[in-house]
Structures are given as structure tokens and as C-alpha cells.
Structure 1
Amino acid sequence: MNRHANTQWTITSLILVVLSSVVFTGLASAQFPTAQMGEIVPRDVRETYEKGLRFLATTQTEDGTWQGGHGGPGVTGMAVMAFLASGEDPNFGIYSGNIRRGLRSMLRSQDPSTGIFGGNMGHTSMYNHGFAMLAVAEAYGAVDDSDLWSGGQVTGTHPMKLGQSLELAVRGAVTSQKKNKFGGWRYGPDATDADTSVSGAVMVGLLAARNAGIEVPDEAIDRGVAYFKSMTSDSGQVAYSGIGGYDDSIPRISIGSLVYAISRRKDIPQFQATLAALTERLEQSSNSYLRYGQYYQAQALFQGDVDAWEKWNEQLIRELKADQQDDGSFTGSLGKPVDSAMALLAMALNFRFLPIYER
């Protein structure tokens, strides 16, 4: 090899090293679209997703929330995650303002004493807490704290940072669980009974916080997994609560399977049973909780069986494209903001930017 060729090889190698460093530093907890599958994101996904984001962006209020149907920091968190999952730069991209307003709204809603997002919101309190905690975990490390409160409403001398909020949220969830004899969660932070729907929201939030580097006690995860095991039948059906039986609820089966997968319990029979129950029901709808079911089923299948997810995902894309309203929204039983955010997040597995969507 001549001197010129040597020089070219050295420069090329240096560029590759620099690029690798930039990618690792800037996206330590994320991935480029299609990084795992090596495929181009389908055009229908990109167009449907962008149309949905425009709906969320134009309907967000000045205080960072969304109105219509169910509301609260959990709804705001789901919408924020939809923006984060698109791959746009969360600090300088076209939706960075929407992300910051949403995060500020969630942090302002957090009780500084208990750590619970939204305070006392009745039967949605711990739902809101779980989804808001998940959103803050996904934003932590991606959104620049130094710019978070720029131009925003500051309530106090020292606005809370994302890391502080996340640590406080984890403490609130763990404190709530310690009061619960089942090891799960119910509607309010002081509840003594539990159900798998609320418990799934909080467990995924805790696991996302752990993935983000926040300390989460092993005991809390173990107790949560034990609760789900106690609610899972040999056939993979997942019961709702102590007063409910087993049925073919796609959302609950998906929640159970997802909790087992991301808590790294794929070796237990309950995970295999729930995954089998899902793959046997790829054509089955979630009925009255359609978007809620799609949101969880997408993640559970992706974490458990990529081939099954790919087959189901093709069907999902067709359905969501057909179901999308002219204004970019999606309808369902939970209100346009919730149903739209959940529909987009079900589709967001095609991008795989959110750390919780990594396998």
C-alpha cells in the first residue's frame, strides 16, 4: 500500500472512530430507526405517525396538557413519549417545545412530599403516576435539563430536574407498594388491594427508571413479578384482580408478558404461557379497550417473538391507517388524546427510539 493510500485509510478510520463515539455518546440509550431489523420504516408508518403528531402538537394547551376524555400527567406522559419516539431531536427538533411543555406540566403536578404525579386523582392516581414515571424515565438523559425550564412557568427558586423527579417518583411507587399486601398497586397510593392493569403501568415505569440508571430496589421488582405470577394461569390468561377471574383479555395478557420480559424473567413458565396465549390470538381484537390493547400488545410481542410481532405489525399498520381521522387523531373509549398517543406508541416499535422499546 502506498503512502497516499495509507493516509486515506488513516483518515477514514479516524472518521469512523469519531462517528462511533458521537453515536454512542448521543444515543447511549436509544437506537437509530430499523437498527435491529435492517429495514426501512414503511412509508405508511411515517405518514400516519407524522399526521398523528401534528394532531397532538396542535391540541396541546399552553400549560402543556391535553384536554378531552381522560386527563392528567399520565396522559401528558404518553403524548410526550409519542414525540420522543419519533426520532426528532428532543432539544432542537420541531416538537422540542411540545416535549418541554409536557415535561414541565408533569413535574409541576408531582407532589414534592410523596413523589406521586398528579396527587390525589381518584381511580386514575396510580395510572397517572405509572405512565408519567415512564415518560420521565424515557426523557431522562435525552432532554437537556438546563433548557427544560427556559421560557416556562417556574414555581419555586429551584425547578426540579428530571433525575430528581424520577428518583422521587420511584420512591413514591415503592412506598405505595409497601402498603400493599399483594405487592402490586391499585387506584390510589394508599390502596391495600391491587389489580394487574394499574400494577402493569407502575411496574413498567419502575423498570424504565431502572434502565435509566435510577436505583430501584430488587425487592420491589421481585414483589411485583410475584404478584403477576399469582395472577397468571397455566394457559397464559391474566386475571384482573382478586375479584376477577381468568379470561382472554388481550391487554392483561400483554401486560403480564411485557412485565416478565423487561424484568428479565423470560425463563419462567408464566412468561412462556402469556407469550403463547398472545401468539395464538394475533387476529383477536381488544374490543372496548382497543388502543390500550394495541399499545401493550405491540410491546409484548416485540419483546417476546419478533416474527409474531412482524406479522401482527403489518395488520396494525393497515388498521391504524384506515382508522385515523382527518385531523390525525384516533378514536376509542379513552378520549382522543389518550387513544391517539397509544395508537402512535403501538406503531412506534417500527422506529425503536425509546429505550423501553429496545430488546
Structure 2
Amino acid sequence: MKKQTEFWKVLIAPLCAATVVVSSFVATSAEKAAFPGVDRAVERGFEFLRKQQKDDGSFHHNSAVTGLAAMAFLARGYVPGSGPDGERVERALKHIISEQAEDGSILGRGGRMYGHGICSLLLAEAAGMSKNDRVMAALRKACELILRAQAEPKSPQHTGGWRYEPRSRDSDISVTGWQLLALRAAKDCGVKIPSEAIESAVGFVKRCAARGGGFSYQPGGGPGHARTGCGMVSLQMCGQYDAPEVRRGAEWIRSHEMNWGREHFYYAIYYVTQAMYQCGGDDWGWWQSRLEKMLLEHQNGDGSWPTTGGEGEGGQVYSTSMALLALCVQYHYLPAYQR
């Protein structure tokens, strides 16, 4: 348990973000890949993931990694309960709901609020697609815990955000990103979320904006790729596409090249991909070619992607899920990420 909790704490330091619903599966790309072979690489990645699901519906002993794998299937357009891959998503949802405690938490075996945010976001996406009463009930309970955790007394600098534990008294941008996106997605599904909660979270994210561009882990810190992608997406998904913090974030990313295998590589490519896709135009074109080149060059023969520094405990289920979530943005199946 300690090892698993430490894994998520190490990863949390630079990261964040993500999203909502899909409708029905159509096997086509809505947007051109920059490199040939992307569609095939994506399918090979799913071939690997399909073999990893266990009898209880999980893809990994950590519920957050199972949540990421299930979200990857949603991002490719596989609807819960529809077809073999939709059934895989359905089984993963049942497993995650079975881990929810009476107080609404889905803290799993390590990861605490970080894992709770990921699983809550997955529930919101699934609720928007399937209108399943059990999923909606679990989502409401999960959101209640998120709101209670946000309301814990914090200093002015940390007000509005979240941290590792439900009763933490400070906040960081990575844990905050998952909770904020889960609340936004839940609100779109009809769950009553106070507007003040969203506004307060946005305020914390903006306080994490670094002076020279990009976003820091906590107010006053230095920027990094994953933190910057997280901050940008958090604001974009709350409607602040043209916020100066977002523009400066894109400029920071373009002036700081990111190479294969850097620490927390998959978190960084995931968040930066979502952010630059929302920016569109030259920003997206610049990033898309780099992303696809890196991932196609390093995919394993079995369709998985290798783990990199700081992310090993999640295994290749984690690295493959994150790579697929980044590559699948072009398919437009998650409406919250549509321009």
C-alpha cells in the first residue's frame, strides 16, 4: 500500500487533467494524423489493453490505472455496454463502483484523492453516455466528497483546490485538475454542482500561473510541461480558452522542447496534447507532429508502450493507456475536448 501511494505522490508533482462523454462508435478519424500509421498504432495499443483486463473487470490493481484504461476505450468511441469493447468498459465501471466507500470515496489501494478524481471523471463520462442509474448514484456520491474536500479550511493561496487527502489543508494543481474536470463533467450530466465551487477552483489554478509563463505545482513555484498542460486544460474546460494564462502556457511549451523518456513523460504528453489541441492552429500542428513521431518510434512489438522514469509502478497498462488517450484526441469522441 505504501509503495502504491508513493507512486501516485511522485507522479502528482508535475501533472493533471481530462474529460467527458461520447455518443456512438464510428471507425473513422475525424482529423488527419500528422504521421501515417497512427490508426494502426492505436489499434495495436488496444489489442494489448484487451489482454490485460482481469476477471473482476479491473485492468490493474490500482483503481486509478483501471480508470485510465477505461477512459482510453471511451476516447476511441467504445460506448459502455455496446459491443465487446463496450462490455469491457462496463465491467471496469462495475469494478470501480464496487470499490466506492459509504462516504463516496473511491480511494482504492493508494493514490487517495488523485485516484478519486480519475475515477469520478470516468463515472461522469459514462453517466453522460449511458444514463445508468447506478453510475449516476455513484457519481453524485463521488462529487459530494470532492466538494467536502474543497471546503476544508485552507490558506488564501490554497483555497479552491485539492490535495492528496480529503482533509488536506493545502492544494496542488495536479490533484485539483482531476477534481475540477470531474465536477465540470458531472455538471454537464445534470449533477448539481455549485458554480462557486468551479469558480473557486479556477481561482486556485490561476494562482499557479508562473510569472514567466506556464504553470507551477503550487502557487509561487516553477513551471513544468505536465503542470502547464494541466493548468491550461483546467481553464479551457471551464470556458476560459482565451485567458492570458492559457496563451502564455502555450508559448512556454513551444519554447521548452520535450524529449522522449523524460521523467513523468506520459503525464506530460497527455496533458500537453489536450491543451495544445484546444489551442488549435499552429500550436496544435506543432505539437501533433512531435507527439506522433515520439510515440510511433517507441511502441513495443506487442502494442504497448514502455514505462519511463517515475512512472514504472503503474506498469505498461498505465503507459499504454496514457499514450492512447493522447493519440485518440484526434478522433473527437470526448465532447469536452472538441473545439
TM bracket, shorter-chain basis: 0.7 to 0.9
Partner of 2:174 in structure 1? Answer: 197
Matches within 5 A, 1:5-84: 34-35=29-30, 37=31, 39=32, 44-67=37-60, 71-84=61-74
2:208 and 2:229 map into 1 onto residues whose CA distance is 13
Matches within 5 A, 1:307-322: 307-322=282-297
Q: Percent identity?
A: 31
Q: Is the CA contact (8 Å cut-off) linking 1:251 and 1:286 kept in structure 2? A: no
1:111 and 1:306 map into 2 onto residues whose CA distance is 44
Pair 1:132–1:81, CA change in 2 (3 A): same
Q: Is the CA contact (8 Å cut-off) linking 1:195 and 1:240 kept in structure 2? A: yes
Match of residue 98, structure 1, among 79, 88, 92: 88
Pair 1:241–1:144, CA change in 2 (3 A): closer
Partner of 1:240 in structure 2? Answer: 217
Structure 2, unmatched stretches of 5+, are 1-20
CA RMSD of aligned residues (A): 2.4
1:284 and 1:319 map into 2 onto residues whose CA distance is 8
Q: Is the CA contact (8 Å cut-off) linking 2:24 and 2:78 kept in structure 1? A: no
**1:323 aligned to 2:316?**
no
Partner of 1:117 in structure 2? Answer: 106
1:87 is paired with a residue whose SS is: coil
Q: Is the CA contact (8 Å cut-off) linking 2:48 and 2:302 kept in structure 1? A: yes
Amino acid at match of 1:125: R
Which of 1 and 2 has greater Rg? 1
Partner of 1:206 in structure 2? Answer: 183
Match of residue 176, structure 1, among 146, 149, 172: 149
Partner of 1:297 in structure 2? Answer: 272
Q: Is the CA contact (8 Å cut-off) linking 1:238 and 1:256 kept in structure 2? A: yes
> Which protein, 1 or 2, shows the higher relative CO under an 8 Å CA cutoff with sep ≥ 6?
2
**1:344 aligned to 2:324?**
yes
Structure 1, unmatched stretches of 5+, are 1-26, 146-159
Matches within 5 A, 1:246-261: 246-247=222-223, 249-261=224-236
1:286 and 1:308 map into 2 onto residues whose CA distance is 22
1:187 is paired with a residue whose SS is: coil
1:176 and 1:282 map into 2 onto residues whose CA distance is 36
Amino acid at match of 2:253: L
Aligned residue pairs total: 309
For structure 1, which segment, 203-212 or 170-179, has the greater mean C-alpha deviation from structure 2 after superposition? 203-212
Shift of 1:42: 6.5
The list of structure 1 runs, each at least 4 consecutive aligned residues, that deviate by more than 6 angstroms after superposition, is none
Pair 1:31–1:276, CA change in 2 (3 A): farther
Shift of 1:99: 0.7
Q: TM-score, normalised by structure 1?
A: 0.79
Pair 1:29–1:192, CA change in 2 (3 A): farther
Shift of 1:43: 5.1
Q: Is the CA contact (8 Å cut-off) linking 2:112 and 2:165 kept in structure 1? A: yes
2:264 is paired with a residue whose SS is: helix
**1:108 aligned to 2:98?**
yes
1:139 and 1:87 map into 2 onto residues whose CA distance is 12
Q: Is the CA contact (8 Å cut-off) linking 1:31 and 1:352 kept in structure 2? A: no
Shift of 1:89: 4.4
1:95 is paired with a residue whose SS is: helix
Amino acid at match of 1:117: I
Shift of 1:173: 0.5
Q: Is the CA contact (8 Å cut-off) linking 2:68 and 2:322 kept in structure 1? A: yes
